[in-house]
Structure 1
Amino acid sequence: MFSKRFHKLFLVIFFSFSVFGCSEQANQKDDIFRITAIPDEDPTELARKAKPLVQYLSKIIGKKVVYYPVTDYASAVEALVNKKVEMAWFGGFTYIQAKIRSNGAVIPIIQRIEDQGFKSVFISSDSSINSLSDLKGKEVSFGSVSSTSGHLWPRSFLLKEGINPEKDFKRVAFSGAHDATIISVGSGKVQAGALNFKTWEKFVKKDMVPDGVKVFYTTPGYYNYNWTIHKDVPKQTREKIIEGFLELSQDTQIGKEILSLQQASGYIRTKDENYVGLEKAAKSADLLK
Structure 2
Amino acid sequence: MTAPLAYITGASSGLGQAMALRYHRAGYRLALVARRGAEVEAWARAQGIAPEHCSVLAADVRDIDAITAAGRACIAASGLPDVVIANAGISLGIDTAIFEDLEVMRRTYETNNIGMAATFQPFIAPMRDRGTGRLVGIASVAGIRGLPGHGAYCASKAAVISYLESLRGELRASGVRVVTVLPGYIATPLTAQNRYSMPFLMQPEDFADRAFDTITAGTSYRVIPWQMGVVARLMRALPNGLFDRLLVGRARKHRAGE
TM-score scaled by structure 1? 0.28
TM-score scaled by structure 2? 0.31
Higher relative contact order (CA 8 A, sep 6+): 1
